[in-house]
Amino acid sequence: MAAVGLALALRGALPTGAAAVTVRCRSGLWTRLPPPPPRRSAAHFSFQPDPAPTEYGETQKMNLFQSITSALDNALAKDPTAVIFGEDVAFGGVFRCTVGLRDKYGKDRVFNTPLCEQGIVGFGIGIAVTGATAIAEIQFADYIFPAFDQIVNEAAKYRYRSGDLFNCGNLTIRAPWGCVGHGALYHSQSPEAFFAHCPGIKIVIPRSPLQAKGLLLSCIEDKNPCIFFEPKILYRAAVEQVPVDPYYIPLSQAEVLQTGSDVTLVAWGTQVHVIKEVAAMAQEKLGVSCEVIDLRTILPWDTETICKSVVKTGRLLISHEAPLTGGFASEISSTVQEECFLNLEAPISRVCGYDTPFPHIFEPFYIPDKWKCYDAVLKMINY
């Protein structure tokens, strides 16, 4: 047993990819250890940066969390009423998105809150009603549910309930979102569909640092409560040239990233990078031309761009990390079926997470990776 224990310990100390080695155990016997298994990579996608923009002035190399910090810095500098609050934001936040902002703008504008999501959003509603700009952080999207009542019954309905005498349109709620490779059931969820059923709020999910800054600034400026979900797996994995000065990307406008003629692929957040790879695979292996669309805004979503594409291609695949049943892909599918029924050449395909809690070690089997999406494209072409 001692020999086995030593062998396992030595094997664990070997670097990934090392060759097999022979070691002498305490008993005097020689034991040959097999090479350690290859370490699984958490990423199920390859991030490809967009070209550096030229229309917004000077750019800097930023990852996604740095682009968020830059957007918040711009917002605080422009608007003296803007405040940032949430759990640990004064220290920079668990993902470092607010690092340095308290030192720059003071503890009255960037401050911590108790561990109470309902209180964070309720406090934000109150600040926004006074006319100030409230930027709230929920530390993980998985923990936004204690604030669900405040968001859907108060923030979303405040203007309607008062006959537009009062509103909390200056409220923006940020939250890290989506799978990360090791987050398991409480740090991997994608809850956008829960909120998409609620009129009165806007929901935005960026795919990259360049998109994140422009869309977040648009949310902060928008006169409606906004939920801004940030793909946390991209915080450090995604790096682009991002403008230093403020710029704005319109909400509720999907972006066609690649034109095509045979299949329309729609996703948002991290999953956009998956379907970009699928489009390349389909072209290479099947000769199939895919149109790739980043939805960007979940609510209100851009029906015109999606339907226009499906009229052209006749086929639609929608992919998201959230579970299949009741996911936002269902809403897109239903609308396209109603608007484009006579143009469809195959049933609409949804490639999503399973109807289970988000797993830990089984995450690679749960996520809608490029192979699942590729198989769906193949089925549609052969239909």
Catalytic residues: 117, 187
Contact 353, 271 (CB under 8 A): no
Q: Which residue has the tokens 């561990």?
A: 115
Q: Which two tokens stand for residue 264?
A: 């329309």
Helical pair 303-313 and 328-340, crossing angle rounded to 10 deg:
60
| β-pair partners for 218 | none
Contact 84, 72 (CB under 8 A): yes
d(CA 327, CA 197): 11
Q: Cα torsion at 199, 144, 332, 334 (round to 10°)?
A: -70
d(CA 233, CA 101): 23
Alpha carbon separation from 345 to 339, 340, 352 (Å, rounded): 14, 10, 21
**How far does the chain reach from its first CA to its final CA, in angstroms?**
58
CA dihedral sign, ordered 351, 356, 357, 361? negative
Where helices occur in 83-171 by DSSP H, the ranges are 101-105, 117-129, 148-149, 158-161
Alpha carbon separation from 54 to 39, 51, 209, 357, 358 (Å, rounded): 40, 9, 15, 43, 40
What string of H, E and C letters represents the secondary structure of 69-98?
HHHHHHHHHHCCCCEEEECCHHHCCCCCCC
